[in-house]
A and B are shown apart, each in its own frame.
Chain A
């Protein structure tokens, strides 16, 4: 029960942060990716702000074994820099550049009630499922 409420609260805070940052507006993200044309560097401040805030906590919590709710902490094992990482991140980059939405803002964008966001999310779910069922 607790876990669900905490997840909901964290999602709400994350979503508010996304809107304030401007990341939920695809035009803003495209402006950041448009390095040769009226470049808008704001997104660096979004990622920078989040990393500077979270980084020190991760450092101090890195040896913790149990979360506050008592669950075992399992951080991702060291990921290899392999073909999957490089090709996957490249394909993600293409999709991100085509529309200006990454997964978090894509979900938050449902709050605009623009039906096109649902088309994007269904396509994204299809991509996740195809990957899951074709590559282990």
Chain B
């Protein structure tokens, strides 16, 4: 197993969990990012709050890059193939809204609340994600 980083993964996960809890406690809303994203671009009500959350998602990493981890560059390696990026982005947007949530909405908030549908949704998108990567690897992508 290469690049296995359980400690930073766990620490990051706990911080994400604290954000989810604090957001719910203060606003009464669940921090499902695909829902926040949809509301920010389609709903007039609470648009500024939703945009503020999304802005925070960008500012957080900037704070981390510049003030916390300035010595160690944070890895960011992404495909630059439009054949993957454009259908990938579209399917993430369309699929999360059709399925009612993403990794945060179903995977963290939903499973955290022991919702059966969220547990099933998470199982599906993880399994299909794994299948997709396995198929791409057959074509020499992501080896």
Using a CB–CB cutoff of 8 Å, the interface residues on chain A facing chain B are 3-28, 30-31, 33-55, 57-58, 61-62, 64, 66-69, 71-76, 78-81, 84-104, 106-112, 114, 116-117, 119-132, 135
Contacts and interface: CB of A to CB of B under 8 A. Distances in A.
A54 B17 contact: yes
A53 B100 CA distance: 22
Interface of B: 1-6, 8-31, 33-34, 37-38, 41-42, 46, 48-50, 52-65, 68-69, 74-80, 82, 84-100, 102-104, 106-109, 111-118, 120-122, 124-134, 136-137, 142-143
A57 B114 CA distance: 12
B interface, over-half SS = helix
Contacts of A38: 1-3
B131 to A, nearest CB: 7
A130 B133 CA distance: 25
Contacts of B29: 67, 71
A37 B91 CA distance: 24
8 contacts: A11-B54, A18-B57, A19-B69, A49-B13, A91-B99, A98-B85, A102-B103, A121-B89
Contacts of A21: 8-9, 11-13, 15-16
A11 B60 contact: yes
A117 B79 CA distance: 10
B133 A20 contact: no
Contact of A15 (B61, B113, B118): B61
Q: Which 5 pairs of residues, A with B, have the shortest CB-CB distance?
A: A11-B56, A15-B60, A21-B12, A49-B13, A127-B93
Contacts of B125: 89-90, 92-93, 96
Contacts of B16: 13-14, 17-18, 21, 46, 49-50, 53
B92 A46 contact: no
Which residue, of B79, B80, B99, has the highest number of chain A Cβ atoms within 10 A?
B99
Contacts of A49: 9-14, 16-17
A30 to B, nearest CB: 5
A119 B109 CA distance: 28
Contacts of A130: 90, 93-94
Contact of A36 (B56, B84, B134): B134
Given A97-B128, A119-B89, A127-B90, 16 more contacts: A7-B27, A10-B19, A11-B19, A11-B57, A23-B12, A30-B133, A33-B132, A34-B130, A38-B2, A42-B6, A50-B17, A67-B24, A75-B113, A90-B99, A91-B91, A111-B60
